[in-house]
Structure 1
Amino acid sequence: MSNAPLILVDGSSYLYRAFHALPPLTNSKGLPTGAVKGVLNMLRSLRKSYPDSPLAVVFDAKGPTFRDEMFADYKAQRPPMPDDLRVQIEPLHACIHALGLPLLCVEGVEADDVIGTLARSSAAASRPVIISTGDKDMAQLVDGHITLVNTMTNTTLDVPGVAEKFGIGPELIIDYLALMGDKVDNIPGVPGVGEKTALGLLQGLGGGLDVIYANLEAVRTLDIRGAKKLPEKLAEHKDMAYLSYQLATIKTDVALDVELDALHPSDGDSAALLALYQDLEFKSWVDELQRAGVAATAKPATATHATPNQDDLFGSSDSPATAEEPAQPEISAAQYETILEPADWQRWLGKLQQAELITFDTETTSVDAMQAELVGLSFAVQAGEACYVPLAHSYMGAPQQLDRTQVLNDLRPLLEDPHKAKLAQNGKYDINVLARAGINVQGLAFDSMLESYVLNATATRHDMDSLALKYLGHSTIRFEDIAGKGAKQLTFDQIALEQAAPYAAEDADITLRLHQALHAQLQATPSLARVLSEIEMPLVPVLASIERNGALVDAKRLGEHSLELGQKLEALEREAFALAGEEFNLNSPKQLGEILFTKLGLPVISKTAKGQPSTAESVLAELAEQDYELPKVIMQQRTLAKLKSTYTDRLPEQINPHTGRIHTSYHQAVTATGRLSSSDPNLQNIPIRTAEGRRIRQAFVAPQGYRLLAADYSQIELRIMAHLAQDPGLLDAFRHDRDVHRATAAEVFGVTLDEVSTDQRRSAKAINFGLIYGMSAFGLAKQLGVERKEAQAYIDRYFERYPGVLAYMERTREQAASQGYVETLFGRRLYLPDINARNPALRKGAERTAINAPMQGTAADIMKKAMIAVHHWLPNSGFDARVILQVHDELVLEVREDQVEALRAPLCEVMANVAELAVPLVVEAGAGDNWDEAH
């Protein structure tokens, strides 16, 4: 028997998730087809990934199961299957049969039970099993042979993965479910026992229900909230706990009529499959079969209509269920050329001049655009037709290549023509590489990375390899495949053309194919198309320019700071040893845990997955708040050590030897909300609330004859909240330019504005910002150092005074739950895969995100629009100034010192006028010789 893994597909799970996660897709008859295509995409991808594996697709059968007989209310609260989903089941089953894939539906049990039985049988024969599912309950099946794979989120759960994710091993998952219950399946559990309590019981006693009920008195000693009363509660509901255990247990001994060896896919019925695809109007798949010479049989009947709810975002490895893209040649049949002769180059130059859209990519010696040397360029003008133009391959035996200067001169008119549309993947990098080569690229109309990001920021990573697998079902040639790994990895100029050329040409070809797949989907949602065309694409050259400008850093000042930090770290280490009464490794969780909890007897706040007392940062912070000296010292030591290693030691190393400046890289396609992130260095995380952190900013300095001007949006997210909530009280405060925290304090504490104390304003500020981020009464109480009841009273009073805010929050939760996403004022979407999750913690987290994301995302959009506006305004303003940094809600400029005051007001005005809200946008600007002074 082959040892290729057995693939078991949870068809019911994927059917629901494909239906809820994707925009509705219908054929010309109005019949819904999105869920069908979603599941088929996933199956096609699995077959490509595991071509030699046996495989079965398992669905729930109609009718009751043995669990309904065991507990009449089992799944009683589940809503009926939507009609638009029900009508897609029959055509999906028909397609799966026509593909030749084994399909199983067994009456009286659930799909989970069939999968569990097959998995255990296969594992018993020492055959590896991969269960493709999104159902976390199946974690109970995981063992040395059985692994869960979620192709929608590209995550894998093996035994260590289960322990890391849940805090317990697979052997305790059923006990975990039995204790806390499951609202979606209506498994009752023990009333009052939630996730944390269930986890505390299982970790604290080291066993499942049997161990817990044999040691009820020991429960009182556990570090669990309400532990003293918990034994009585557990005893009272023991029968319910064991019933829940039975309901949650996946049956692994179902009598099946199929043998494992019979689960190999057959050749299927291509003619029937073609007829199904034609009826469902899956055009690219129809073309694929017809190119293979398949003729259809009589057309089958299909299905009827669709709505979203989104349990998790669909993320298959093929093109998703949306508008059909144009037919494309198979990638394996693509024609790629290596251009070494002038005549061939002139022929391709003619193609580029005639093309409506030029797809281009650069190959270089480094991922750092400010250090990279151009090695070659690749181009595509239509899917399957691409070329690579090598310019600087230098390995021994490399052929004669075209003259670099001549090729760049030939390209300059094309690439610098703003009316000639271009396409790239992560085009900002290519713009910067070519700028250093003397070409000012203009007319970048599309970027496949940004198209994917705008379409769905969180569904997948947005690098080419991930996107090709997701949307095209194609595994690209990876750089490591041709360059090697680690210290011996070759730079691109050292790679032989036989390997380099197909890799480079494929980059351009795949970029074009991705654009064709993604552009149609974006056009189907005009608001997303506008986010791409009006915000993200215009921002690319702006960010490229800021990156090239770079920031001047005083290396000498950083070196002095680093020495001081080293001395302080040594002093803190000595202090820690004195408090501990011995020397130990401050970075060893094991040694630190022994000192804190065994030797010093400090209270255990939480435990690790292995049941050991945790020494995580959050635990140390909580102990420090309780005035324990050693945790305070450890926290100080860790903070300073991070500053030293990340900034004072590292920043001087990141100064570019050619420019003498630091050139951070800005990333548009990373955060879920649309905010920019940066790396090498990461400027977003420089702490500014401590003197040591501010000293880092003091090292960012203005060159001689210039000063730094930092322009910052004032309380932008609160202003956006006022606009979204349309609350009269908040609107009035901002429109009359009142201190909104003081105004909130006056409302909440029932005093006049003049009577508001410093502490009351501080509390009001915590409430204002806390509510934006979904802070609970518990969190607010902790922050303010008050009792939970008092914090809840503050929140209640806040909502009484600002009822519009509460209405906004409730409205947003409802909209998110019904449509599966929220939007910024400009139409950017954030999908929320957990908004209807069964897990209360996940669902509450998604609700908090739903409330905050429109504010944070709108603030990000406004900043991006401001950067674009300033970029276009500055060159014609008459000022000698340039943007060098963007961090959070702030732009930092270098300005000629005698023009600072004249520039300040018009700059603030340009930034304030990029969006119109119901309250004024206010921009404040400060100036100084360094960033800290300016801020």
Structure 2
Amino acid sequence: MSQAPLVLVDGSSYLYRAFHALPPLTTSKGLPTGAVKGVLNMLKSLRKQYPESPFAVVFDAKGGTFRDDMYAEYKANRPSMPDDMRLQIEPLHQSVIALGFPLLCVEGVEADDVIGTLARSSAAADRPVVISTGDKDMAQLVDGHITLVNTMTGSAMDVEGVKEKFGVAPEQIIDYLALMGDSSDNIPGVPGIGPKTASGLLVGVNGGLKELYEQLDIVPTLPIRGAKTLPAKLQEHKEMAFLSYQLATIKIDVPLDVGLDDLHLIEPDREKLLELYTLLEFKSWFDEVQRDAKRTGLEVAAPVIDNAPVVNTELKYETILDQARFDVWMKKLGDAKLFAFDTETTGIDAQQAQLVGLSFAVQPYEAAYIPLTHSYMGVPEQLDRDTVLRALKPILEDPSKLKVGQHAKFDMNILANCAIGGDQSCGITVQGIAYDTMLESYVLDSTATRHDMDSLAQKYLGHTTVSFQDIAGKGAKQLTFDQIALEQAGPYAAEDADVTLRLHQTLFEKLTAIPSLVSVLTDIEMPLVPVLARIERQGALVDAKLLGVQSVELGEKMVELEREAFAIAGEEFNLGSPKQLGAILYEKLGHPILSKTAKGQASTAEAVLAELAEQDFPLPKVLMQYRSMSKLKSTYTDRLPEQINPRTGRIHTSYHQAVAATGRLSSSDPNLQNIPIRTAEGRRIRQAFVAPKGYKLLAADYSQIELRIMAHLAKDEGLLHAFRNDLDVHKATAAEVFGVELGAVTTDQRRSAKAINFGLIYGMSAFGLAKQIGVDRKQSQAYIDRYFARYPGVLAYMERTRAQAAEQGYVETIFGRRLYLPDINAKNPALRKGAERTAINAPMQGTAADIIKKAMFAVDNWLTASGLDAKVILQVHDELVLEVREDLVEQVRDEIRQHMSHAATLDVPLLVEVGVGDNWDEAH
């Protein structure tokens, strides 16, 4: 029988990765816990995977190492550890030890060196080693005995894996790192040498750094781009290359106080774990430890927090399969002042998924699931679907029966679309949804966490919910909910309703401490839920044939652009391959490297290509056009026809209230917010959104709403005067900034003034403005200075907002919506400046979002009350698009303008521009 491997865990690597990759979790008292949870999850998984193995979990010790003495700049470019990460180190270390894992921290060296020493010692004793890490430097340790595994991604790497990934053998990895450097550790390497060149050099000389420098004369003959210039470059930076070699080398001879025989797992310290899990609010793990203790007959005292013992509440979940229990729950729902509800479905597309069952909760820890259409072999007899829905319909449609949901819009659409008795028009129109826990969390703090149920339960209840993958599996073999056995489906569904109710109680209590946020929830977000649900169900009509024609034309243009790119490059290559493109741009054509990826490779990202295009390099210009065409084709002209609902013949986008931090709505499947309007190709896609026969599309758009909000917030007399007197604000700004009469403003001056007006809203620098309007930085700074001299109220607003944000940690919209700014006092200047730009812009963008939401609610109310044959079918940015019967267009046009312009009262009027046409482009 083969020996169980020694498992060495790179704790520091996983701490950083868990902190940056996983959702931020905090306890009810504000202690960050997300990284702790991520690392402990990984350790628990490893323990199950290697139950017989010795273990060591290794962390970096405090203080410097021998590498800092060797090179003062080592890791100098790393920002200081975030406070939220530092606070998690001690509870993580304590938790690791309490779980029974040996933990090592050795001063003067890094965790890598401790791991390298233990790994080589074990390998020398013929014992296999598994190193669990996400650090590429560790690849130098791989040999016949030592393997790397990445528990976060599930990947493993042996000798062949190293060769495949890096293009060199494990024994050449140090040389490879020495040549290309490592930006994360600030190992300098040789400037201009990337991964491909480094591996090509080492393979070409069949050795390492020493052999390379002994054979510089053969380098020009190697099949490497730019090989002729490499010897001089290598010679110039020889000293730095060998220093980099030393910095990248993992020590394998660190003196240690422990030997391999000391690295065995011990029994977990249950009392300590209960104490830690209580502090960290890991309720499900707390419960697990108590259950294990009871099962083994051990007496473990419940920890005491704030002088009160932690109480485990018994869950009362049931699956309803008989009429008597259904009647009991109908009475519970009828008597409840508020109940939580949730639907289980066959999918996540609210317009096509089928209802499988419903769950309800009327008080915490007590919930029921009513299965309706589970269809696996051996499923117990369920209550009749139509009978249940007819019984529930009156209570679900009663606006006086208050309800709470988690992302309730989805459940509303499912129930509205579920035909009772086969009648498609006979669904359930849910009313009385007073609260939505997703929106409560979003309004409380849009940036604190994700707003899905699992994240919220973890953050606010300390409860780990059963995930859908736990009961349904994943990948191609994942079951739909109707295929899941009731023994698993029932508790899962009941938990959804129970957790929703408990979350509401916790979140709404927090909201009530800030009355303005309660107002944002109850006056803006909640009234919008049924409005968005109706818009989604209505959908928009698209001309699939026209989209097909556009798709062919875009494909032909892409072929032309591809040929043009090949001609410029002098060879054919894959335009979609960053690796091939990087080789052409930087190695063959010698374009300047403006940015590198996290892996140290020259970037070919959109922003980089845009900057290169601005420097008049022809290939980046062609590539930008190609990418634009490709995105339009794949995202819209090819995809939209596939997204037409076969039942309705329309496209039904999904609107998201709890995504954008500022309060803006976003949409998906399809994303309508990103269709470009400034290009002919983008406008042609809008032409495919059409009105049915006998109808017109009407587009109502707020004009310059963010500038008007800035005028209101800044109270600047110049801006107020321009808007109150219906002046062309960009022309008025141009007259002020360029010192000319209003009638003498040229088109170019107006364009520059427009860039200044909008640029300042988004925090544009003088450098950014200079690039945009085509002047030097000195001239653009002069324009900005003159702007602030003419509009001093704007400058005062910006300075006031920055100061307030730094003092209180957040900014607010006119209606009281808050945006928290965790980096507003960051020591890192780039982070702090970014937060300051957000602080200035967020009140304007957030207020604009609030206004369009209030307008949607007002328009929907009017349309519902009037009974007119007109419906909102789209909302994009500051625009509403309606489908209106032709003979009602003038009446609806006037009413829409009134309702939208009176959605808020500012110091300047809200101007609404309304257009009409047979398609969206015409109407806009």
How would you bin the TM-score normalised by the shorter chain? 0.7 to 0.9
Q: Is the 8 A contact 2:705 2:910 kept in 1?
A: yes
Q: 2:475 aligns with which of 469, 475, 485?
A: 485
Q: 1:577 aligns with which of 560, 563, 567?
A: 563
SS of residue in 2 equivalent to 1:675? coil
Determine if contact 1:483/1:492 at 8 Å carries over to the other structure.
no
- How far off is 1:914 after superposition? 3.4
Task: Pick which of 346-355 and 751-760 moved more.
Answer: 346-355
Equivalent position amino acid for 1:829 in 2: L
- How do residues 115-154 of structure 1 correspond to structure 2 at under 5 angstroms? 127-130=129-132
**Higher RCO structure, 1 or 2 (CA under 8 Å, sep 6+):** 1
Amino acid at match of 1:753: L
Contact 1:447/1:537 (<8 A) preserved: yes
Q: After superposition, where does 1:173-192 map in structure 2 within 5 Å?
A: none
Q: Unaligned regions of 5+ residues in structure 2, if any?
A: 167-172, 202-208, 226-232, 419-426
In the alignment, structure 1 residue 933 sits paired with structure 2 residue 919: no
Which residue pairs with 1:562 in the alignment? 548
Q: Distance in 1 between matches of 2:6 and 2:513?
A: 41
SS, match of residue 387 in structure 2: helix
Distance change in 2, residues 1:335/1:714 (3 Å): same
Q: Is the 8 A contact 1:360 1:424 kept in 2?
A: yes
Compared CA separation, residues 770 and 690, structure 1 to 2 (3 A): same
Distance 1:427 1:122, change over 3 A: farther
Q: What's 2:859 paired with?
A: 870
Task: Describe the SS at the equivalent of 1:34.
Answer: coil
Counterpart among 727, 734, 739 of residue 723 in structure 2: 734
**Residue 695 (structure 1) aligned with residue 684 (structure 2):** yes
Q: Which secondary structure state, in structure 2, belongs to the residue aligned with residue 742 of structure 1?
A: helix
Whole-Å separation in 2 of the counterparts to 1:375 and 1:757: 64
2-structure distance, mates of 1:579, 1:16: 41
Q: CA deviation at 1:351?
A: 3.0
Q: Aligned pair in 2 of structure 1 residues 397, 583: CA closer, same or farther (>3 Å)?
A: farther
**How much does 1:763 deviate?**
0.9
Corresponding residue of 2:819: 829
Q: Please tell me whether residue 371 in structure 1 is matched to residue 327 in structure 2.
A: no
Q: What residue is the counterpart of 2:537 in the other structure?
A: 548
SS at match of 2:435: strand
Matches within 5 A, 1:54-73: none
Closer, same or farther: CA 751–86 of 1 in aligned 2, 3 Å: same
Deviation at 1:484, TM superposition (A): 5.7
What SS class does the counterpart of residue 400 from structure 2 fall into?
Answer: coil
Matches of 1:599 and 1:3, distance apart in 2: 44
- Between the aligned partners of 1:357 and 1:879, the Cα distance in structure 2 is 34
Q: Tell me the amino acid that sits aligned with residue 687 of structure 1.
A: P
Shift of 1:885: 0.8
Map 1:2-151; keep pairs closer than 5 Å: 2-3=4-5, 6-7=8-9, 9-10=11-12, 34=31, 45=41, 48-52=44-48, 127-130=129-132
Match of residue 911 from structure 2: 922
The offset of 1:267, in angstroms, is: 4.6
- For the residue of structure 1 that corresponds to 2:257, the secondary structure is coil
Per-residue Cα deviation, 1:52-102 (whole angstroms, up to 9, x for no partner): 477778888889987999999999999999999999999998888767666
Whole-angstrom distance in 2 between the partners of 1:517 and 1:358: 15
Q: Aligned pair in 2 of structure 1 residues 442, 633: CA closer, same or farther (>3 Å)?
A: same
Aligned pair in 2 of structure 1 residues 491, 95: CA closer, same or farther (>3 Å)?
A: closer
Letter in 2 for 1:673: T
Give the C-alpha shift of residue 435 in structure 1.
Answer: 0.9
Match of 2:662 in 1: 673
Give, in whole Å, the separation in 2 of the partners of 1:706 and 1:77: 61
State the superposition RMSD in angstroms. Answer: 5.8
Contact 1:472 1:514 in 2 (8 A): no
Q: Take 1:822 and 1:684, find their aligned partners in 2: how far apart are those partners?
A: 25
Q: CA offsets per residue over residues 628-656 of structure 1, 9 Å max, x none?
A: 66665554454344434433343333332
Give the one of 765, 778, 784 matched to 1:795.
784
Q: Hey, what does 2:257 align to over in structure 1?
A: 257
Once the two structures are TM-superposed, the CA of residue 832 in structure 1 deviates from its matched residue by 4.2
Note closer, same or farther for the CA distance 1:605–1:594 as it changes in structure 2 (3 Å cut).
closer
CA distance 1:474–1:549, change in 2 (3 Å): same
Cα distance 1:200–1:905, how it changes in 2: closer, same or farther (>3 A)? farther
Partner of 2:872: 883
Identity %: 59
What are the equivalent positions in structure 2 for 1:174-213 lying under 5 Å apart?
none
Residue 390 and residue 615 in structure 1: after superposition, are their counterparts in 2 closer, same or farther (change >3 A)? same
Q: Is the 8 A contact 1:606 1:619 kept in 2?
A: yes
Instruction: Identify which of 415, 421, 424 aligns with 2:405.
Output: 424
Shift of 1:756: 1.9
Q: Please, what TM-score do these two structures have when normalized by structure 2? A: 0.75
1:655 aligned to which of 628, 644, 660: 644
Aligned-pair distance for 1:886? Answer: 0.4
Letter in 2 for 1:343: A
1:352 aligns with 2:333: yes
Distance apart, 1:282 and its partner CA: 10
The alpha-carbon distance between structure 1 residues 477 and 578, as it changes in their structure 2 partners (threshold 3 A), is: closer
After TM superposition, give the deviation of residue 678 of structure 1 in Å. Answer: 1.3
Deviation at 1:657, TM superposition (A): 2.8
1:868 aligned partner, one-letter code? F
Relative to structure 1, the CA distance from residue 806 to residue 241 in structure 2 (aligned partners, 3 Å threshold; closer, same or farther) is: farther
Indicate conservation of the 8 Å contact 1:325/1:517, yes or no.
no
Structure 1 pair 837–672 and aligned structure 2 pair: CA distance change class (3 A)? farther
Task: Give the Cα separation in 2 of the matches to 1:359 and 1:770.
Answer: 46
Secondary structure in 1 matching 2:700: strand
- Once the two structures are TM-superposed, the CA of residue 434 in structure 1 deviates from its matched residue by 0.5
Residue in 1 that maps onto 2:417 = 436
Q: 1:343 aligns with which of 324, 333, 346?
A: 324
- What CA distance in whole angstroms lies between the structure 1 residues aligned with 2:156 and 2:766? 35
Q: Deviations over 1:897-923 (max 9, x none)?
A: 333333334433333333344443333
| Aligned partner of residue 340 in structure 2, secondary structure | strand
Amino acid at match of 1:378: S
Alignment partners' CA distance in 2, 1:791 and 1:728: 24
Query: 3-state DSSP class of the match of 2:696?
Result: strand
> Using the alignment, how far apart are the partners of 2:720 and 2:556 within structure 1?
52
Q: Which residue of 2 aligns with 1:414?
A: 395
How far apart in 1 are the matches of 2:862 and 2:277?
A: 53
Among residues 885, 910, 913, which one is paired with 2:902 in the alignment?
913
Is the contact made by 1:363 and 1:376 (CA closer than 8 Å) also made in structure 2? yes
Aligned to 2:169: none
Q: Write the distance in 2 (CA, Å) between the matches of 1:506 and 1:251.
A: 51
TM-score normalized with structure 1 length: 0.74
Distance verdict in 2 for CA 1:676–1:295, change over 3 Å: same
Aligned to 1:310: none
Letter in 2 for 1:866: A
* Secondary structure of residue in 1 paired with 2:339: strand
